[in-house]
Each structure stands twice: as structure tokens, then as C-alpha cells.
């Protein structure tokens, strides 16, 4: 499918959304269109995940309240219904059902990032590596960064299920589980 066809479709969605009255929640109306578009474009998987506030030190966690609102839940239900109707798109969402705690996150064990200038960071510091990093791979080896005392301390805290301060606003810790009746895939 060409870029121009995609751009025309996105334009159509944008125009439809522009006509909505002011103050109408974007997610509530946009999510089902995203699923329809994915179906037309033969994109098999669509995943919904919040912006993680862990490294956005300027924001407080009240943003997460949105995910318990009727707007979010009804938008999600509509999008899920569309994914069921079209049959070729699987809609998934982060694990909203189980208890949030540090041990729920497995990323310290299997996921790390290295910024373009060599800073290994935990997942959620990747946009802002100077907020939190575990050394620099240009100054020492990757393995020594991953086994640095600071990184090992984080993994020790994981074992004890004690949340490091930096992670306290992470969605895996701070976003309350949502009561959903739909059988959506969790990831
Ligand atoms: S707890 Fe949150 S911030 Fe920390 S690694 Fe996991 S997902 Fe990222």
C-alpha cells in the first residue's frame, strides 16, 4: 500500500475527528478507527499502552486517572468490538488486571537500551539517559555496565519487591488495575 493511500486514509480519520464537538475525548472516538485502519492495512496486531511517566519528572501521576474513566473504558470496549468484527486484528493492552508492583516488571532482566552516545539505561529512562544510566559502554564494557553496582542494586530491590524511587511513577507500579469485562489480550 502506497504512502499516498495511507496519508489519504489518515486524513479522512483526522477530518472525521475534527468534526467532533470540543472536549470530546480523543481516545474514545479514535481507537476504533485505528483498529479499522489496521484491518484495512492488514496490520495484525494493535497494542494500547500508556505513556510511562517514570522518567518524565515534570509530570505527576494524575494522568493515569484517565485509564479508569468511562471515556477510556468505553473507547476500549468499542475498539475491542471492532477488532472482533473485523477478525483480522488482535487488539491487546498492557496487563491491567493483576496487582501492580515492582516484581510485575521483568524488564530489568531481559531489556535494556543503549543511547546513541553509549549510555545503558533501564527501559523507561531511554528518552532521558542522563536522568538514570548505568555507565557508558564507550568508557567500559557493556557487561560491566549491566553488572555495575547500581544495576545490581536495582535487581536486588526487585527480588525484595522494593520499588526504586525512579520507578515510582511507572505504570507497572502506579497505574491502578482497571476493571474490564471484555476478554482482551493482555501483554
Ligand atoms: S518498573 Fe517500570 S520503569 Fe522500571 S523497568 Fe519496569 S517498566 Fe520500566
Span between the terminal Cα atoms of the chain, in Å: 29
Which residue puts its alpha carbon closest to atom 2 of ligand 1? 170
List the one residue out of 95, 85, 109 whose CA is nearest residue 157.
Answer: 109
Q: What is the pLDDT of residue 125?
A: 75
Q: How far is the CA of 167 from the centre of ligand 1 (A)?
A: 6
Averaged pLDDT for residues 24-41? 80
Query: Which among 94, 126, 161, 172 is the best mutation to test ligand 1's pocket, defined by most ligand atoms within 8 Å of the CB?
Result: 172
**Ligand 1 pocket, residue 122 CB under 6 Å:** yes
CA distances from 121 to 52, 59, 140 (A): 15, 20, 14
Query: Which among 102, 105, 113, 146 is the best mutation to test ligand 1's pocket, defined by most ligand atoms within 8 Å of the CB?
Result: 105
For the purposes of burial, counting CB atoms within 10 Å of the CB of 170, is it exposed (0-12), middle (13-18) or buried (19 or more)? buried
**Ligand 1 pocket, residue 108 CB under 6 Å:** yes
Q: Is 184 helix (H, G, I), strand (E, B) or coil?
A: coil
**Ligand 1 pocket, residue 124 CB under 6 Å:** yes
Q: What is the pLDDT of residue 23?
A: 46
Give 108-146 pLDDT, tens digit per residue: 888 888 999 999 988 777 778 888 899 999 999 999 999
Q: How far is the CA of 137 from the centre of ligand 1 (A)?
A: 21
Give 3-16 pLDDT, tens digit per residue: 788 777 777 776 76
Residue bearing the bigger pLDDT, 160 or 125: 160
Calculate what percentage of the chain has a pLDDT beyond 90.
37
Mean pLDDT of the chain: 85
Task: Summarize the chain as % helix, strand, coil (round to 5).
Answer: 50, 5, 45
Calculate what percentage of the chain has a pLDDT beyond 70.
91
Which residue puts its alpha carbon closest to atom 6 of ligand 1? 105
Cα angle 77-78-81, degrees, rounded to a multiple of 5: 85
Q: Looking at the predicted structure, is the pLDDT value of residue 27 above 80?
A: no
DSSP letter (8 states) at residue 137: T
Measured distance CA(148)–CA(17) in Å, rounded: 49
Amino acid at each position: 500500500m502506497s504512502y499516498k493511500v495511507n496519508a489519504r486514509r489518515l486524513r479522512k480519520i483526522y477530518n472525521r475527528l475534527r468534526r467532533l464537538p470540543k472536549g470530546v475525548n480523543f481516545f474514545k472516538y479514535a481507537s476504533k478507527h485505528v483498529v479499522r485502519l489496521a484491518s484495512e492495512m492488514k496490520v495484525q496486531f494493535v497494542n494500547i499502552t500508556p505513556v510511562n511517566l517514570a522518567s518524565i519528572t515534570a509530570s505527576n501521576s494524575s494522568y493515569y486517572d484517565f485509564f479508569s474513566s468511562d471515556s477510556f473504558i468505553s473507547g476500549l470496549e468499542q475498539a475491542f468490538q471492532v477488532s472482533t468484527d473485523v477478525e483480522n486484528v488482535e487488539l491487546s493492552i498492557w496487563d491491567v488486571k493483576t496487582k501492580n508492583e515492582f516484581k510485575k516488571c521483568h524488564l530489568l532482566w531481559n531489556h535494556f537500551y543503549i543511547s546513541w552516545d553509549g549510555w545503558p539505561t533501564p527501559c523507561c529512562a531511554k528518552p532521558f539517559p542522563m536522568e538514570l544510566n548505568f555507565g557508558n559502554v564507550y568508557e567500559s564494557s557493556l557487561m560491566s555496565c549491566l553488572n555495575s553496582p547500581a544495576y545490581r542494586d536495582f535487581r536486588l530491590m526487585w527480588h525484595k519487591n522494593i520499588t526504586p524511587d525512579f520507578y515510582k511513577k511507572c505504570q507497572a507500579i502506579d497505574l491502578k488495575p482497571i476493571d474490564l469485562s471484555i476478554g482482551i489480550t493482555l501483554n
